[in-house]
Chains A and B, each alone.
Chain A
Amino acid sequence: MFPASFGYVAAHSVEEAVQLLTKHGEDAKLLAGGHSLIPAMKLRLASPRTLIDLATVPGLRGVRMDGNTLAIGALTVYADVASSELVQKHLPGLVDAASVIGDVQVRNRGTIGGSIAHADPGADFPVILTALNASFVLQPRSGSRTVAADDFFIDFYTTAMAANEVLTEIRVPLPMAGSGTAYVKLPHPASGYVVVSAGALITRQPSGSCALARVALGGLGSGPVRAVATETELQGKPLTPEVIAAAAARAAEETDPEGDTYASAEYKRHVAIVYTRRAIEAAVQRASAS
């Protein structure tokens, strides 16, 4: 199909983008990589009158170290996230996720900010960034505010972001020494989006027991879900295969996924357990190697 006709404005600063958003109101949409928005427009699921392009805003692309935090510009494409030496060194779990999104074309166009702002229930970054305890910098008309991933994803395609805010940066705290991160995904055979995925951040004490566990799951709800029971179960325990398996077995507790033409709800809950275990195992292995 073809999109309904629309206008296009290139923004040259975040302030201008916010101004344009305020001016055009409901009828306008920010354009980042366009890899969710344009397909939605072609299917007439979205028909914005005006697109405000963020690609022309300088300073929103790239990865930098800011104290104990890795700061990723909202317009950074997945391929750049995956190939960033900083990310590779400190957050291999984020590399895992950035490498399995869509295909090569998607990874060279889609932006981390667009993925977060779009909040697709089948998206990868929201899951791993929740596990990594990331937060998102939003710029409303004046000043800026930061929202933690745990509080950001509200519902299907719905976030804590106001209509006239721009997401400018993703901030990920550097994990403590002895940490490992990992992300595993069961992709849908057709779309490649998440059927079920698991992201884990595990901090291992020199003794071998678990100092911190954050585990987030994708595909089980309207957005990323924290596997709280699993995290609690791991806390302070030795990270043996048995302990990990027992903790992972509780990953799908209190989730209520919907079945679809590919996978039943039961299958999703089952895979969530298996993939939680695999993600934790991979994170622990990296923690031991670091």
Chain B
Amino acid sequence: MTTDHTPTGLIGASIRRVEDPVLVAGKGCYVDDIQLPGMLYLAFLRTTYPHAKIISINTNAAKAMAGVLAVVTGEDVKQLNIPVAPMVQDQKIPPHPLLARGAVHEAGVAVAAVVAQSRALAQDAAGAIEVEYEALPSVIDAEKALEPGAPLAREELNSNICYVATKKGGDVDTAFAQAEHICRMHIASPRQVALAIEPRGIVVKPEPTGDLTVWLSTQAPHRVRGDLATALGFPEHKIRVIAPDVGGGFGSKGPLYREYVLACHLALKLGRPIKWIATRSEDFVTTIQGRDQAMTSELALKKDGTILGLKVRVVANLGAYLYSSTAGPPQRMMGMAPGSYQIQNCHVEVVAVFTNTTPTGPYRGAGRPESVLNIERLIDKAAKELGLDRLAMRRKNFIRPEQFPYKTGVGVEYDSGDYEKSLAEAMRLSDYDKLIRERDAARGRGELVGVGVSTFVEPSGGAGFESGTVRVERTGEITVLTGSSSHGQGHETSYAQVIADKMHVSMDHVAIRHGDTLAIQQGVGTFGSRSMVMGGGSMTLAAERVIQKARRIAAHLVEAAPEDMMQADGGFAVAGVPEKKVTWRQIAAAAYGGRVPPGMEPGLQETVFFDPRREAWGFGAHVAMVRIDRETGKPTIEKLVLVDDCGVIINPMIVEGQVHGGVAQGLGEALREQMLFGEEGQALTGTLMNYAVMRAGDMPHLTVGETITPNPFNPLGVKGVGEAGTNGAPPAVANAMMDALAPLGIDHIDMPYTAPKLWEAIRQAERRPAARS
């Protein structure tokens, strides 16, 4: 499959995003922009109890309201459920009805639904439904849920454990027996809300033909279509799912949600289109949330800092119900525990737990940030305990460039890397030695200033296949159909760069189409930093096949040998005779006009389903400098340097944007975001008035750098980068915070580092006699 491809300069160019003018001008089309004649509106009555028995539901008043077409409760739709396939052996999968039946297990779950002629009316009617509950004891914290005598989150089960999964490599017992030092740590990552700017929503239209057209704010139209068909018992080939413009997802818009199945069911039943758009309050408590894992680790070491072995136990909070992706993130630790270090003796145990909280699931990083946080904090803690330099300790244990492809202690093969180089670049960009001098000077003045580093790996791609079709149209323009649908990533730009570059045409010659199951072959979707690795990979392979075929057609047209046809601007030319040129338009005319070489199929379109059967391991080094106001605890990020290696870079501006976005969410986790549930399980931070999401104005200055280590297992040499910011930045900030507080004898605080929390820790430490110097 080698080509005579010469770079056209499009791959690697910071081309402005072609999709933005439409979106910035407010001319995009989101689900809520879809208006259909005769459309009805769906609204829900949601419980505020985290765990309760439903004694009675009275829907009479709602049903009697003019303009209300249907009021349904769990019993009315008891045949319908959210389908969930097990991910782990012996996984418990408790029932997941569309509307609560008999009991509610999380605040936010819907007890009844109303269909009415207007949105306001539907809400009014839902408010008129009366429900009587009997409160049941609830459990919020996953570690507490494992204690003997803890209330059962799901009374159908005999314990709160959904699954236990383990991964073992090497000889952990011997490693720990030989250890000269063991570093122990307990660390918890706060629960975060995905908070896409566009809340979830659906419009569904039953077609006269019996088909179903669904507009959905989703990251994975094909996957959701399959699940929807299963949930409804409705033929998949009669469902068309369209993801129009989608305003962010961050993993939370992957699965099939209860409201979607119910909207389709009711639309079919009533024979009318139905719209449901989550309010912000609904989106807060019903959309899968992220993180909420506690890790207990032991690191076996030699005194010189050599790591001998690692044990990690993860207790992950899954919430009350399983969505298709809920069980996934905690398992990341089983592939990522050793991070960028040579740790051949590993033992990882993951205990996934049900609680009476909103279900969790993938959120930008999806288990990667937790894994990175764990090993990066451990390394810093261990270095401190051993009195070693934390960078020297990292270098000592790094997997070395010549060891790739490298099989880790948990049995995963990393493709390529140069971790030293990335760390060196981060030190150069941050002027690391100067930061340390500044820190020391500030410390001398009694100020709390700290510097922290993280050197991390970031698996991307994976999750099965992705598909790409490259079609040269009759006029020679190129249409690309990708199963990887965009929800803000810039696919229309970066994919067009790839194909235009490969096929020697200008970008406006290429149209990228995605997000419509009618137009696109089976596909998967966009999540897990997979788009360029998987979507880009598949369309590149498809383009190469088209090029091979086109070369033969071109040769046929000019009566030359295919080997003599070279790619040239806008098509092909005979080698050494550049004026003997065949354009894509001429080739296409031949392909569709019966002038292909004998024995060749007509047409000029190729589809590739790409599955490299391995993930792409990006990596990076982040450096943070923080200052904490000793008087109020208020933290400030003074410097943040982010060096990421995602292999070959298609569009540097888009890559930088991905890093910025990830860092914003990572800093949210590190500094201020946390979804809290009260003693009684009610959401305490379920609005933007008390959930402190990062806003543009809260962002510090970012310095973004890169190293480039091409991925040898990918047609484009690329790795993902979408989650770099959420992976690398929080541990760098955490290490910097703990460095700042080290003079006070504080060695660990969990994120988020809010001013009141830091002040409390400082105050406690200052009261300890030892710290008073």
30 inter-chain pairs at a CB distance below 8 angstroms, sorted by A residue, are: A1-B123, A1-B279, A1-B281, A2-B123, A43-B281, A44-B127, A188-B689, A189-B672, A189-B692, A189-B698, A190-B672, A190-B685, A190-B688, A190-B691, A190-B693, A191-B690, A193-B689, A261-B684, A261-B685, A261-B690, A262-B690, A262-B692, A262-B754, A262-B756, A263-B756, A264-B756, A264-B760, A267-B759, A270-B632, A274-B631
B15 cross-chain contacts in A, Cβ below 8 A: none
Interface size on B, residues (CB 8 A): 26
Given contacts A189-B754, A267-B756, contact A4 B692 (CB under 8 A): no
Q: Is A5 an interface residue (CB 8 A)?
A: yes
Find chain B residues with CB under 8 A from A271 CB: 632
| B123, B672, B684, B756 — most chain A CB neighbours (10 Å) | B756
Q: How many A residues are at the interface, by size bracket?
A: 20 to 34
Nearest-CB residue, chain B, relative to A268: B756
- B685 contacts A2, C-beta separation under 8 Å: no
Residues of A within 8 A of B690 (CB): 188, 190-191, 260-262
| Smallest CB gap from A260: residue in B | B690
State A105–B120 Cα separation when bound (angstroms): 26
A284 vs chain B, min Cβ distance (A): 19
Query: Are B120 and A2 in touch, CB under 8 angstroms?
Result: yes
Contact with B along A1-20 (1 / 0, CB 8 A): 11111000000000000000
Q: How far is the CB of B19 from chain A (nearest CB, A)?
A: 26
0/1 per residue, B736-773, Cβ < 8 Å to A?
00000000000000000011100110000000000000
A174 / chain B contacts, CB cutoff of 8 Å: none
Q: Is A55 among interface residues, defined by CB-CB distance under 8 A?
A: no
Per-residue CB proximity of B273-297 to A under 8 Å, as 1/0?
A: 0000001010000000000000000
Residue B303 lies at the interface, judged by CB distance under 8 Å to chain A: no
Question: Which residues of A in the span 248-267 have a Cβ within 8 Å of any Cβ on B?
Answer: 260-264, 267
Given A2-B123, A190-B692, 19 additional A-B pairs, CB 8 A: A1-B281, A2-B119, A186-B755, A188-B690, A189-B672, A189-B692, A189-B698, A190-B688, A190-B691, A191-B690, A193-B689, A261-B676, A261-B685, A263-B756, A264-B756, A267-B633, A267-B756, A267-B760, A274-B632
Taking CB atoms, residues of chain A closer than 8 Å to B473 are: none
Q: Which of B672-686 contact A (CB under 8 A)?
A: 672, 676, 684-685
Q: Is B611's beta carbon under 8 Å from chain A?
A: no
B-chain residues with CB within 8 Å of residue A191 when the two chains form the complex: 688-690
The reply on B124 being an interface residue by CB < 8 A is yes
- Complex CA gap A43/B282 in Å reads 12
User: Which 5 pairs across A and B sit closest by C-beta, in order of nearness?
Assistant: A189-B692, A190-B692, A191-B689, A267-B756, A2-B120
- Tell me the complex Cα distance, A248–B490, Å: 53
- A43 CB to closest chain B CB (Å) equals 8
B contacts, CB < 8 Å to A:
119-120, 123-124, 127, 279, 281, 631-633, 672, 676, 684-685, 688-693, 698, 754-756, 759-760
Neighbour of B120 across the interface among A5, A186, A261, CB < 8 A: A5
Residues of A close to B692: CB separation below 8 A: 188-190, 262
Output the least CB separation between B110 and chain A (Å).
Answer: 15
Determine the chain B residues whose CB is within 8 A of the CB of A2 once the complex forms: 119-120, 123
* Cβ contact within 8 Å between B754 and A190: no
Within 8 A of B (CB), among A203-238: none
- When C-beta atoms are compared, the residue in chain A nearest to B668 turns out to be A189
Which residue among A5, A43, A188, A267 has the maximum number of chain B CB atoms within 10 Å of its CB? A267
Asked whether B689 lies within 8 Å of A190 as measured between CB atoms, the reply is: yes
Instruction: Count chain A CB atoms within 10 A of each CB in B124, B690, B691 and give the residue with the most.
Output: B690
CB distance from A194 to the nearest CB of B (A): 13
Contact between B688 and A186 (Cβ–Cβ < 8 Å)? no
B321 shortest CB reach to chain A, Å = 24
Least CB distance from B339 to A in Å reads 30
B123 and A186: CB pair below 8 A? no
> Beta-carbon contacts of A29-55 to B below 8 Å, as 1s and 0s?
000000000000001100000000000
Q: For A4, list chain B residues within 8 Å (CB).
A: 120, 124
Instruction: Tell me which residues across on chain A come within 8 A of B281, comparing CB atoms.
Output: 1, 43
**Interface mask (A63-90 → B, CB under 8 Å = 1, otherwise 0):** 0000000000000000000000000000
Output the least CB separation between A121 and chain B (Å).
Answer: 13
Report chain B residues within 8 Å CB of A262. 690, 692, 754, 756
Report how far A168 CA is from B691 CA in the complex, Å: 36
Most central of A5, A190, A191, A264 by chain B CB within 10 Å: A190
- Chain B residues with CB below 8 A from A274, complex form: 631-632
Assembly CA distance A5 to B120 (angstroms): 8
- Distance, CA A271 to CA B754, complexed state (A): 14
Chain B residues with CB under 8 A of A190: 672, 685, 688-693
